Structure formats: structure tokens, C-alpha cells
Amino acid sequence: MARAMFEYTKTVLQKVSFNSELFCKELEKALQRLLPYEINELTIWLKQFTANKPELFVCMTLVK
């Protein structure tokens, strides 16, 4: 079940990536829901996902 939440979180973040404000809000929700090791995985995924999206890089401060 927990793995499903991680995958769902990635899907939601991809879908709202057109708006940095929504992206940050969904990222905040994800950080409250996910387990610590999933947050580590999400951080790695976010670095790759936001590499060519500088407008979303602002939200990376939430995971540090």
C-alpha cells in the first residue's frame, strides 16, 4: 500500500507541474504522507524531474 502512495504522489506531481504553486502544495502534502525512506526516494526523483524545469526548483527547498 505504501508503495502505491509513492507512485500516486509522483503521478500527481507530474500532472500539476504546469503550475509551481500547485506543485509546491502537493509536495507539502506528500511530505506529510510518505514514509522517511520514500521521502528520500522522492527527493532523488524530484532532482531529476526538476532538472529542466527551473520554475519548479523553488519547491525543492521543502525537501531539504
Per-residue pLDDT tens for 4-15? 999 999 999 999
Coil/strand/helix, residue 64: coil
Q: Higher pLDDT residue, 21 or 2? A: 21
pLDDT at 34: 93
pLDDT at 27: 96
Residue 1, pLDDT > 70, answer: no
Whole-number average pLDDT of the chain: 92
pTM of the model: 0.89
Best CA proximity match to 51, nearest among 61, 63, 60: 60
Kindly state the cell numbers that stand for 21: 504553486
